[in-house]
Amino acid sequence: MTTRFDIEYLRVLGPDGRLVGKNPPALAKDTDRLVELYRQMLRVRTFDTKSVALQRTGKLGTYASCLGHEAAHVGIGAAMRPEDVFAPSYREYGAQFMRGVKPREVLMYWGGDERGNDFSGPKHDYPWCVPIGTQCLHAAGAALAFKLRGEKRVGVACVGDGGSSKTDTYAAINSAGAYGAPFVLCIINNQWAISVPRRAQTGAPTLAQKGLAGGLHCLQVDGNDIIAVVAAMEEACERARRGDGGTVLELVTYRLSDHTTADDARRYRPDDEVKAAWEEEPLKRIKAYLVAKKAWNEKKEQAWKAECGATVDEEVNAYLATKVQPIESIFDHLYADMPEDLARQRQQALDWEARR
């Protein structure tokens, strides 16, 4: 039996801020919603800039910037429903803010405090995931639970181009396909896995096509195009929700920042490549589109930026003012009922701290 496949590429809004192609999705006309989405993208960027500044002034540990990923992240979050479950890697703050995670929680996490993972908003979402790709199987497992219980909820995971090489990612694709689970995998291809370029990860021409091996729907999307991302993500979630199987979306974007604040990307990638990538960045084009449609202007931009700055500062101060947890906190959340041995050790730790 011969099989052929095509991987479609979806772009709605070009880098110059103009629609491409015929029959744009309805969202392209919904300027109110687009303005709101743009606001969220600006909010994320404001937060991201402040976080880097915090790290540079010694107030935050290592931080993974999301510069350049705003459309991909905000778009994913916007298309999901509150009852869905989100399994991030460690960079998708834009999606998480859409789902109710607070900036101070992100800062707590990178600031070395476990309470950052205790989201006050989306109670079922997974915490940030450092072991690459493992979150994909968690989302697939969640999706399987939803299917087994007959719930109309979707399990969504984000993974990078580097992470798409991980055994766990393949396993998630395969098992989600085998079980027909409501699983959506967003491969956020920002072209770089620390210093390893996209072409070194795999021989396959697209990352989206990895879904074919598991029998999932596959689509490649311009990840800097908020309209395309939301449209594609909404369709994928609906498909999963009605029981028609999972999807792999490859969101093509670019990592405009270093891998983390401790990395230095100039060691391994040329400056003109980064410059060219800035021309395609997500905020520029949606702003141009909305300004052309008279739905946005400079005055609104400055006012919104100031408001973002103020709310981010509030979150930053809340984070900085949070005291370090007491020593017993490292014992108190290990088991439902604390074993005796551990209770003794906990007391020893307390005694040691009180020794002066």
Partner 1 sequence: MAEKKSFHLPDLGEGLPDATIVEWFVKVGETIRLDEPLVSMETAKAVVEVPAPCSGTVLKLAGAAGDVIETGSVLAEFELDPKLPQRADAEDTGHSHGHKGAGKPTPAADDGDTVIASDDGGELDTGDTAPAGREDAGTVVGAMESSDRVHSEQVSAAAGVKAMPAVRALARKLKVDLTRVKPSGAGGVVTMADVKQAAADGSASGPAPATARREPATAPQPAAAAQRTPVSASGRPMATRPPQAAPGTGQPEQLKGVRRNMARVMAAAHAQVVATTLADDADIHAWTPGNDITVRLVRAIVVACKAVPALNAWFDGEKLTRTLHPHVDIGIAVDTDDGLFVPALRNADMLDARGVREGVNRLRQQVMDRSIPSTELSGYTISLSNFGMFAGRYATPVVVPPCVAIVAAGRGRHQLVPVMGGVETHRIIPLSLTFDHRACTGGEAARFLRAMLDDLALPG
Partner 2 sequence: MAAITLIEAITQALAWEMKHDDSVLVLGEDVGVNGGVFRATAGLQQSFGDSRVLDTPLDETTIAGLTVGLASQGMKPVAEVQFDGFVYPMLDHIVCHAARFRSRTRGRLTCPMVLRVPWGGGIRAPEHHSEANEAMFTNVPGLRVVLPSSPARAYGLLLAAIRDPDPVIYMEPKRIYRQYKEEVPDDGEALPLDVCFTLRDGTDVTLVTWGSQVKECLEAADALAGEGISAEVIDVATLKPLDFDTIAESVGRTGRVVIVHEAPKTAGFGAEIAARVAEECVYDLLAPVERVTGYDTPIPLFRLEMKYLPSVEKIVAAAKRTLAAS
Q: Which residues bind partner 2 (CB under 8 A)?
A: 61-62, 90, 109-114, 128, 130-133, 160, 162-163, 165-168, 193-196, 200-202, 263, 267-268, 324-325, 327, 329-331, 334, 341-342, 345, 349, 352-353
Give me the least distance between CB of 104 and partner 1, in Å please: 13
From the list partner 2, partner 1, none, partner contacted by residue 297 (C-beta under 5 to 8 A by kind) = none
Q: Does 91 bind partner 1 (CB under 8 A)?
A: no
Question: Can 268 be counted among the known catalytic residues?
Answer: yes
Give me the least distance between CB of 225 and partner 2, in Å please: 26
Give me the least distance between CB of 52 and partner 1, in Å please: 9
| Per annotation, catalytic residue among 81, 268, 333, 344 | 268
From the list partner 1, partner 2, none, partner contacted by residue 56 (C-beta under 5 to 8 A by kind) = partner 1
CB under 8 A: which stretch of 10-18, 51-59, 145-153, 285-293 binds partner 1? 51-59
> Is the CB of 7 or the CB of 52 nearer to partner 1?
52
| Per annotation, catalytic residue among 45, 259, 285, 289 | 259
Residue from 167, 297, 317, 345 touching partner 1 (CB under 8 A): that is 317
Angle, helices 70-79 vs 282-292, to 10°: value is: 70
Q: Does 58 bind partner 1 (CB under 8 A)?
A: yes
| Per annotation, catalytic residue among 153, 255, 289, 319 | 255
3-state secondary structure the chain: CCCCCCCCEECCECCCCCECCCCCCHHHHCHHHHHHHHHHHHHHHHHHHHHHHHHHCCCCCCCCCCCCCHHHHHHHHHHCCCCCEEECCCCCHHHHHHCCCCHHHHHHHHCCCHHHHCCCCCCCCCCCCCCCCHHHHHHHHHHHHHHHHCCCCCEEEEEECCHHHCHHHHHHHHHHHHHCCCEEEEEEECCEECCEEHHHCCCCCCCHHHHHHHCCEEEEEECCCHHHHHHHHHHHHHHHHCCCCCEEEEEECCCCCCCCCCCCHHHCCCHHHHHHHHHCCHHHHHHHHHHHCCCCCHHHHHHHHHHHHHHHHHHHHHHHHCCCCCHHHHCCCCCCCCCHHHHHHHHHHHHHHCCC
Q: Does 259 bind partner 1 (CB under 8 A)?
A: yes
> Is the CB of 130 or the CB of 334 nearer to partner 1?
130
Could you tell me if residue 100 is left (phi over 0), alpha (psi between -120 and 50 degrees) or otherwise beta? left
From the list partner 2, partner 1, none, partner contacted by residue 342 (C-beta under 5 to 8 A by kind) = partner 2
Residue from 51, 55, 175, 220 touching partner 1 (CB under 8 A): that is 55
> Is the CB of 306 or the CB of 327 nearer to partner 2?
327
> Is the CB of 117 or the CB of 260 nearer to partner 1?
260
Cβ–Cβ < 8 Å for 227, 26 = no
Provide the annotated active-site residues: 255, 259, 268
Binding stretches for partner 1 (CB under 8 A):
50, 53, 55-59, 61-62, 111-112, 194, 259-264, 266-267, 313, 316-317, 320-321, 323-324
